[in-house]
Amino acid sequence: MGKIRSHIVYKTKKYKRNTQLSFIRNTNEDSASSLYLCAMKIGILGGGQLGRMLLQAAANYQVDTYVLENDQDCPAAHLCHHFTLGDIKDYEAVYRFGKCLDAITVEIENVNVDALEQLEKEGVKVFPAPSVLRIIKNKILQKQYYQQNEIPSAAFVVTHSKDDLQKHTDFLPAVHKLGEGGYDGRGVQLIGTAAEMEKGFDAPGVLEKMVKIDKEIAITVAIASTGELKLFPPVQMHFDQDLNLLDYQLCPAELTKSVLWKAEAVAQAAAKHFKSPGLFAVELFIDADGNVFVNETAPRVHNSGHHTIEGHYSSQFDMLWRIMLGYPLGNTDAILPSVMVNIIGANGFSGPAVYEGLEEVLKIDNAFLHIYGKKLTKPGRKMGHVTVLSQEKQDLLHKANKIKNLIKVRT
Ligand code: ADP
């Protein structure tokens, strides 16, 4: 550390004309002594809550932040240095936004990958590499990636249409997944019997064998440009069956040692084969026999890592900045076990958001409230979250329940 600091002082004098100062890695030099000061501009495609929390963590570092989003009132708009109104799915908008940046990242996969590929060719660093986004944003390619790299994932067949789907009744019970455009469970249909085939999508997708899920967990893997790799402890997700949304999430997940090791090895392999630096949230199913299957990977900061802000020494957001700025990776250990509850727009209410119960929640010991600043609520919309820290699992579950009953987002 001393070595880095003394180098910074030296370079500060040398490059004193720079007004926005941050570190970038000079590839001609090595390790800590290669850090020098110059302006570094980093952009985020998407201005939702993930972008907002990423920007909160950026405030600790010397970095000039940019956001592209087509809503100037989005959660991240007021926390970045430079906001650009534009469509993250549009080639021109993404290319123009990115061409003057040093690096760019995403808070969602559904972005214009062609533009990111062009930017990468022109020397802009993209986290994760555009090739990763191309694979992830299409569930057919994603499943083929796991298969080709011998990463355990449920068996599947590719389907092109609803008619095509009918040919695979022998594959049931199964889960039909839309190739592109599904999110938060909205591109997924559980199909138990031939009569339920009607629920399938009339578009390219995958039909995946139904896993008898015992636990759903997620492991975030951080990979630096140097190849340094760290894993966050696994979190266990519990879903609201009606809304098909996360109900609460516990960290660490309760796993036997052998399942934990298996899950860590699988998560690491799933992220490493992309051959790209970045942050990878790997969602996994564990069945009753302790078999581990990858469900999907998000190559970015993710809902399953919200609790790391208060619960871990380095949060997922801090970690992504470290990766993009070329710093050493942070400490992923938990400070205390945690539970995270999403604050979701209540059923039957659409319009300007009003929050009930926040004061009561703020009275709870070691409860940390995050409101994302979305003006409008609608049923199922993610409006905020609360993380609680405690040594005792019973205390965490009790408080998670209390919070869910206290908070209501309505109009
Ligand atoms: P999304 O990306 O839209 O969130 P997922 O692929 O994560 O969709 O699937 C949503 C949920 O559907 C999962 O959390 C899981 O509960 C269930 N599911 C998905 N795939 C399978 C499977 N192969 N077997 C059993 N359940 C599954």
Distance CA 403, CA 130 (A): 39
311 neighbors 336 (Cβ within 8 angstroms): yes
At 196 the pLDDT is 93
Identify the three-state secondary structure at position 16.
coil
In this structure, whether the domain defined by 40-127 belongs to CATH 3.40.50.20 is answered with: yes
User: Under CATH, what is the fold of the domain 213-410?
Assistant: D-amino Acid Aminotransferase; Chain A, domain 1 (3.30.470)
Q: What is the CA radius of gyration of the chain?
A: 22
pLDDT value at position 30? 44
Tokens for 94, please give them. Answer: 């993404």
103-159 pLDDT, tens digit each: 999 999 999 999 999 999 999 999 999 999 999 999 999 999 999 999 999 999 999
**Amino acid identity for residue 397 in this structure:** L
pLDDT at 98: 98
Task: Provide the residue count of the chain.
Answer: 411
Kindly state if the Cβ of 264 falls inside 6 Å of ligand 1. Answer: no
Question: CA distances (Å), 211 to each of 190, 237, 287, 347, in order?
Answer: 11, 16, 7, 30
- Most informative mutation of 110, 175, 282, 300 for ligand 1 (most atoms within 8 A of CB): 175
CB 189 within 8 A of CB 175: yes
Contact present, 290 and 262 (Cβ < 8 Å): yes
Residues of the chain short of pLDDT 70, as ranges, are 1-39, 242-246
- CATH architecture for residues 155-209: 2-Layer Sandwich (3.30)
Tell me if the pTM is above 0.95: no
DSSP assignment of 122-157: TT-EEES-HHHHHHHTSHHHHHHHHHHTT-----EE
The 3 state secondary structure assigned to 338-370 is EEEEEEEECCCCCEECEEECHHHHHCCCCEEEE
CA of 216 to the centre of ligand 1 (A): 9
Q: Is 109 in the pocket of ligand 1 (CB under 6 A)?
A: no
Measured from the Cβ of residue 28, the count of other Cβ atoms closer than 10 Å reads: 6
**Angle, alpha carbons 234-76-60 (nearest 5°):** 70
Which pair of structure tokens corresponds to residue 21? Answer: 């100062």
198 to 155, 164, 178, 207, 225: CA distances (angstroms): 21, 12, 14, 13, 46
What are the two backbone dihedrals, phi and then psi, of residue 47, each rounded to the nearest 5 degrees?
Answer: -125, 35
- What is the CA(343)–ligand 1 centre distance, in A? 21
